[in-house]
Amino acid sequence: MKYLPLSLALAALPTVAAAEAEAPDPARIVVTGEGLSLPPGTPAYGSVIIDRDRLTNSASGRIESTLGDVAGFQQFRRSDSRSANPSAQGATLRALGGNASSRTLVLLDGVPMADPFFGYIPFSALVPDRLSVVRVTRGGGIGAFGAGAVAGTIELASATRDQLPTFAASAFYGSRDATELSVGLTPDLGHGHVSLSGRWDRGDGFQTTPKDQRVAATAPAAYDGWSTNVRAVAPLSATSEIQFRGTIFHDERTLRFKGADSMSEGQDASIRFISRGAWQVDALAYIQARNFANIVVSSATFRKSLDQRNTPSTGIGGKIELRPPVGPDHVLRIGADTRFATGDMFEDAYSAAGAVTARRHAGGDQMTTGLFAEDDWTIGSLVLTGGVRADRWTIDNGFFRQANGAGVSTLAAAFADRSDWQFSGRGGVLYRIGDGFALRGAAYSGFRLPTLNELYRPFRVGADATGPNAALRPEKLKGYESGVDMTLGPVHLGVTLFRNMLDNAVANVTISRTGGTFPLVGAVAGIYRERQNVDRITAKGVELTANGRAGNVLLSASYAYSRSRVRAPGRDFDGLRPAQTPAHSASATLAWEPKQGPAVSATLRYVSKQYEDDQQLDVLPHALTVDAVARLPLGHGVTLIARGENLFDEEVTTRNAGGSIDLGTPRTLWIGLRFAG
C-alpha cells in the first residue's frame, strides 16, 4: 500500500481504543518505540499516510521526493536536497504561497524539525530507511507544537523494531559519478533495542545552468553529505518506555558557479517518555544545534561577492501531553509545549577587487509557549472532535550591525521587543456510513511566527537580493474543508474540498527590478525584493486520492487543484497567484509487486506553470516527469535494485530571475544492492 485515507486506515480504532483501556498484564512487557495511538477524530482533518514500503523504494532515495506523492506538497524550489540551496527547502501544502520557510509543521517522533533560524527542513538528514510511516495532514494544526502549522502537518515516525533487520546495508552507483551508501545495525538489548545507522551521499552533480547561459565559471551542482543516527528504546514498566534519538548531519553543495558553495550541519538530540497506563502520557524534550554557510558569486565578475560565513542557531523545546481516563467514548488530550530559538548571522561583503567592504552581524531570539486541550467523542458511527490552543509568543533581542572593511561601525540597529497572546481552535466531524464509507468536515485556525531569517537576514542569489523586515507580523490562518473517503472493493478513494485564508502572509515583494542601494542590504545590481506582510492569501480547491490493488498490480494517484490568489489592495500584484504556486499538481504510481520475486514500479509527476515572482513576470513552465524502480531478489537477503529519475529527461525550470535560469534534476540512473538480515 502506498498511501491511504486515514479515515479508512483507522476504521477499527474504537476497538483498539477499547482494548487499550483494559488493564495491562504486568508480566508482559511490550516495547513499541512508537508514540501514543492516534485519537479517533484524527481522520476528520483529511490525513493520508505513506507507508514504509513506499518510503524505501523511491527512485531518488530521498524523503522530499516521496512526499511529492501527496499532491499539493511543495518546496520553495522544484529542486531536491542535492541541488537546492538548503535555506530554500521550506515545506508548504495547499498553495499558500512560495516561501523558503516552512508553513507546514514537520515532526519526527513528535519533535519539530525546522531549522531554528531559517525555518527550512533538513531533508538530507531525514533518511527514508529510518522511517516507519509518514502522515500528512493538509489542514491547520492545533495539538502539540501546533503553532506554525498554518499549511498542515507532516508527521514522520521512526521505524519500529519489527521493521528493522538486525543488519542492513545498501550501496548504489549513479549517473555523474554519484554514490549512495548506507548501513544500519539494530541489536536487541534486554526488552528494548538500539538502532545505529549512517548514510553518505555524494555526486559530481548536473549542470543547473542552461547551455546558452554557461560561462567559464559555471559549475555543476556537486554535493557531498552524510548523516548518522542513533535511536534507543527501553522499557520502564509493562506500560511505559523511554525513547532517545540523536542525529548528526553535514551537507555541502555547489550551485551554478565555481566557489558558490553552501554548507549546512546539525546536531540534534531528543528524549521521550511514553506511558500507556490508565493515565496516558507523552512527554519529550529536545535540543538542536544547527549552522549554515553560503558563498555568493557575482554573476558579473564571477568572484566572491558575499560570504555568509556563519549562521549558528539553537533550538530548545519540549512538551507534555496527558490523556486522563474519561470513559470509553472520549479521548481527552491536555498539555503544554514550548519552543525557543536563538541565532546569529555573520556575513562579509566583497568588492569586485576582492576587498571586504562590509561586515554584518544580525540575530535575535523568539519563543512560543502554549497550552492545548482537545477531545474526541465517539457516538456510534459518529466522531466529534474539537480543540483549543493558547500561545504566548515573544520576539526579542533583535539587532543588525554593520561595519566597513576597516571595522568601523556604520550601522547599529536594535529592534523593539514584541510579545502577545494568540488563540487558535479547530473542530471536526467524522461519520462512517456502513463499511468503507466516511464523511468528514473540519474548520480550524492557526498562526506562524516569522522566522529569525525573515526578520533579520538579507540574502542574495546572483545579482538579485531580498531584504529582511524586523516589523513582520505573525501569519494567521482560518480555513474549512469537507470530504468523503470510500472503499469500493479493492479501490480506496478520497475527495476533499477546502478553502484556506492566510492573513498577514509573508511574501517576497518586488521593490525594484533595476537595482539600487537599499537598507541592510547595500548595492543591488539586479532585482530587489523585501519580505513584507500582504493582506491575505486565499487558497480554495479540491484534492483527490485513489489507490487500489488487483492481484499483484497496484495503482495509486493523487491530484490537487488550487485557485490561490493574493489580496493586496493598491499593490500591482493584487489578485494575482502567489509566487512559486502551481494551480495543478498530480502524482500517480503503477506497480507490479508480487509477494515474492521481482517487482517494478513507475511514478509520474506533474506540476503546472507557476511564477518566480509576485508580479507574474518570470514563468516556470509546467513539468511532467517519470521515475521507475525495479527490484530483483537474489537470495540470502540480497536484492538487486535499478532506479531511474526523470527517465525522459524533462527540462524542469527551478528558478527564473529575469531570464537567468536554473534547472532541476535531469535523467539520472542508479544501480545497486541492498542487504537485510
Confidence band (pLDDT; 50, 70, 90) for 227? very high
What does the pLDDT average to over 12-23? 37
Q: Are strands 528-550 and 464-467 parallel, antiparallel or unpaired?
A: parallel
pLDDT tens per residue across span 396-430:
999 999 999 999 999 999 999 999 999 999 999 99
Q: Residue 619's Cα: distance from chain center in Å? A: 24
Residue 595 burial class via C-beta count within 10 angstroms: exposed 0-12, middle 13-18, buried 19 and up: exposed
41 pLDDT higher than 50: yes
Q: In angstroms, rounded to a whole number, what is the distance separating the alpha carbons of residues 653 and 441? A: 37
Check residue 463 and give its pLDDT. 79
> DSSP string spanning 483-550?
EEEEEETTEEEEEEEEEEEEEEEEEEEEEESS-EEETTTEEESS-EEEEEEEEEEEEEEEEEEEEEEE
Strand blocks (E) in 145-256: 153-158, 167-174, 178-185, 188-189, 192-203, 223-235, 240-254
Name which residue leads in pLDDT, 194 or 13.
Answer: 194
**Considering only 135-144, 314-323, 594-603, which range has the smallest mean pLDDT?**
135-144
21 pLDDT higher than 60: no
638 pLDDT higher than 50: yes
Grid cell listed for 12: 477499527
Check residue 521 and give its pLDDT. 84
Name which residue leads in pLDDT, 460 or 219.
Answer: 219
Mean pLDDT for all residues in the chain: 92
Confidence band (pLDDT; 50, 70, 90) for 514? confident
Check residue 19 and give its pLDDT. 34
**Considering only 78-87, 145-154, 167-176, 627-636, which range has the smallest mean pLDDT?**
145-154
Strand blocks (E) in 324-417: 330-350, 356-379, 382-404, 409-414
Residue 203 pairs in a beta bridge with: 223
pLDDT tens per residue across span 88-124:
899 989 888 767 788 999 999 999 999 999 999 999 9
Q: Which among 64, 86, 55 is positioned nearest to 158, based on CA atoms?
A: 55
Confidence band (pLDDT; 50, 70, 90) for 76? confident
Q: What percent of the chain has pLDDT over 70?
A: 95
Check residue 4 and give its pLDDT. 52
Q: Are strands 153-158 and 167-174 parallel, antiparallel or unpaired?
A: unpaired
Check residue 98 and give its pLDDT. 66
17 pLDDT higher than 60: no
Confidence band (pLDDT; 50, 70, 90) for 551? very high
Q: In angstroms, rounded to a whole number, what is the distance separating the alpha carbons of residues 605 and 625? A: 5
Compute the C-alpha angle 655/458/76, nearest 5°.
Answer: 30
560 pLDDT higher than 50: yes
Phi and psi at 216, nearest 5°, equal: -60, -30
